[in-house]
Amino acid sequence: MAQATMKRPAPPAIRQTKLLINNQWVDPVEGGSFDTYNPATGQVIAKVAAASAKDVDKAVQAARKALESSPWKTMDAADRGRLLYKLADLVEKEADELARMESLNAGKTINDSLADMQGVVNTLRYYAGWADKIEGRTVPVRGNFLSYTLRQPVGVVGQIIPWNFPLLMLAWKWGPALACGNTVVLKPAEQTPLTALRLGELAIEAGFPPGVVNILNGMGETTGAALVAHPDVDKIAFTGHVDTAKIIQKAAADTLKRVTFELGGKSPNVIFADADMEQAVAGAFHAIYFHGGQCCTAGSRLFVEDKIHQEFVERLAERAKERKIGDPLDPQTEQGPQVSKEQMDKILHYCDLGQKEGATLMTGGHRFGDKGFFVEPTIFDNVKDDMAIAKDEIFGPVVSVLPFKKVEEVIDRANRTYYGLAAAVWTRDIDKAHLFAREVKAGTVWVNCYHVVDATTPFGGFKMSGQGRENGEAALEHYTEIKTVTIKLK
Ligand code: ADP
C-alpha cells in the first residue's frame, strides 16, 4: 500500500451551516449545534446547526403548507419537471466544487465524488422527465360506471439518508418525491451535513417554492426520531443500518406512516473457474474496495471456485498491496479514509475477530498511518460461512474469501444470509449465469460486472436489505397514493 502524493485541489469554502425551513436559512429554536470532521485528518471543519423536535415541527408545518397550497399544489406537472431540470443544471455547473466538498467531509476520493455528482445530475434529470408522465388508468369496472385512477402525492415525506453517498442519496430521495409532487424534510447524516446544505441553496436558486424542500441536520436519535414520530409526516424514506430501520419501523407504527427502506448487505460475489480471470480479479477488487468498502452493495463475500482459488487470491492480494491510500482530494488517491473513528474502530475489530476465528489473513488488517481514519485493504482467505466476518456487514475494505466446488452449493451458501441487496456472478457459461440470477435472493444481480447502478434501474433489497425500491419507475409507486374515482353513468 502506497501513500498517494500528487498535488491536490484546494478545499472548498463552507458557506452554509444553518437549517433550511421554508426557503429560509434559520438558527435552531433551541440553538443546538455539532461539529463535523475531515476524516482524512480527524480535524473539525465546521460547526453545523442541529435541529430539535421544535425545528422538525416548524419544517413539517412548512412542508404541509407548501403541499396544500399554491404554487406547488397547482403547478403543472411539466413545471415541476422543469424545476428538477434546473436543479440538475445547477449541480452540473458546480460539480467540481460540490465534489471537493463531498471529499472533504465524507473522505471519498475526488474521482469517486465527481462520479457521484454525475449520478446526482442523471438522477434529477431522469425524474424531471417523469414528472408529467405519472398517469392513472381508466378501469373496466362492472356496471354502468366510469372508474379511473389518479396518482397523487403521498404528502409530506421525511427523508433520512446516510453518509456514504451523501448527495447521491439526496438525489435518489428528492428526484422521485418531487417529480410526484410531494414536499420533503431531509435529514442528512450527522457525519456528512455539508453538501446537502449547498443543494438547499441551489434548490432555492432553481425556483422551488418555499416549504417544498426543507433540510434539517442533526443526530439520528433526536432530529431523525422526531421526524419519524411526527404525526403530520406521511412517509419516511430511509437509507441506513438495518438496526436503525427496525427502530424506525416500530416508531412509524404509532402513526402508520408509510416507510421505505434501503439497508445493508453482505453481498455474494461468485467467481467460477471459467470466468475471464483478469476481469474477474479486477471486478472482485472493485466490488469490495470501491469507496473503501463503505457501500451497501460491497461484494464482501467472495466465493471462488476451488480450481482457481489459490491463484485468484494471490492476484487479489497483489493488487491490494499496491493500492494508493491517502488524501481524498489528491486525484492519484485510490482509497481515502473511512468516514469516522467509530467506523474505523469497528472495521479493525472485525480484522482482529477474523484472525481469532481462524481465517487466514492474506494482507492488510491494520490501520494505515496514524492520522485520520484509514484502514488497509484487507483479505481473509479460507473463511467459513458461520464466521462473524462472513455474516456481519463490516462496511469497510475487508473481504472474506470462501472457496466452493459446485454451482448448486454456491447458490445455497450465497442465500444463507438475512440480507438480499445485491449479488454477482462471473462466468462465461450462460446457463450458470441465468441459473444464479434466477435463484439468488437479491434485488440486484450483476453478471460479469459489479456496482453498475443507474437512475433508470430499480434498486432495493430482498429480505432484511429493505422494503420498496428506489430508482427507475419503481420508485414512483412509493411516492404516490392511488385514488380510484367512480362515476355513475346514465
Ligand atoms: P450508520 O450506522 O451507517 O451511520 P445509521 O442507520 O445509524 O447508519 O444512520 C443513517 C441515518 O439514520 C443517519 O442520517 C442517522 O442520523 C439516522 N438515524 C440514526 N438513528 C436514527 C433514529 N433512531 N431515528 C431516525 N433516524 C436515525
Q: What is the pLDDT of residues 318-341, one digit of tens each?
A: 999 999 999 999 999 999 999 999
Mean pLDDT of 389-409: 98
Residue 36 contacts residue 45 (beta carbons within 8 Å): yes
Residue 19 has pLDDT above 80, yes or no: yes
pLDDT for 1 beyond 90: no
Q: Write down the pLDDT at residue 13.
A: 86
Mean pLDDT for the stretch of residues 66-75: 98
Query: Is the pLDDT higher at 1 or at 412?
Result: 412
User: If you measure from the C-alpha of residue 189 to the centroid of ligand 1, how many angstroms do you get, rounded to a whole number?
Assistant: 7
Model confidence at 139: pLDDT above 90 = yes
What is the enclosing helix (H) or strand (E) of 139? strand 138-139
What's the rounded mean pLDDT across residues 154-176?
98
Q: Quick check: CB of 325 below 6 Å from ligand 1?
A: no
pLDDT band at 167, cuts 50/70/90? very high
Residue of the CA atom closest to atom 25 of ligand 1? 224
pLDDT tens digits for range 152-162? 999 999 999 99
Q: What is the dihedral of CA 196, 267, 220, 45, to 10 degrees?
A: -50
Q: Grade residue 249 by pLDDT with cuts at 50, 70 and 90.
A: very high
* DSSP tally for the chain: helices H, then strands E: 15, 22
pLDDT at 3: 56
Which residue minimizes the CA distance to atom 19 of ligand 1? 220
CB distance 220 to ligand 1 below 6 Å? yes
Ligand 1 atom closest to the CA of 251, numbered from 1: 24
Mutate to test the pocket of ligand 1, among 160, 215, 236 (most ligand atoms within 8 A of CB): 160
- The pLDDT confidence band at residue 199, using thresholds 50, 70 and 90, is very high
Query: Over 80: is that where the pLDDT of 449 sits?
Result: yes
Residues 18-28 have a mean pLDDT of 98
* Distance from Cα 325 to the centre of ligand 1, integer Å: 28
Give 310 Cα–ligand 1 centroid separation in angstroms: 40
Span 16-45, average pLDDT: 97
- Between CA 276 and CA 338 the distance in angstroms is 31
Short-list 195, 185, 169, CA closest to 36: 195
* Residues forming the active site: 262, 296
| Cα of 225 from ligand 1 centre, angstroms | 9
Average pLDDT score, the chain: 97
The answer to pTM > 0.95 is yes
Per-residue confidence (pLDDT) for residue 6, from 0 to 100: 53
Q: What is the DSSP letter of 180?
A: T
Confidence of residue 175 (pLDDT cuts 50, 70, 90): very high
pLDDT digits (tens, 9 = 90+) for 383-394: 999 999 999 999
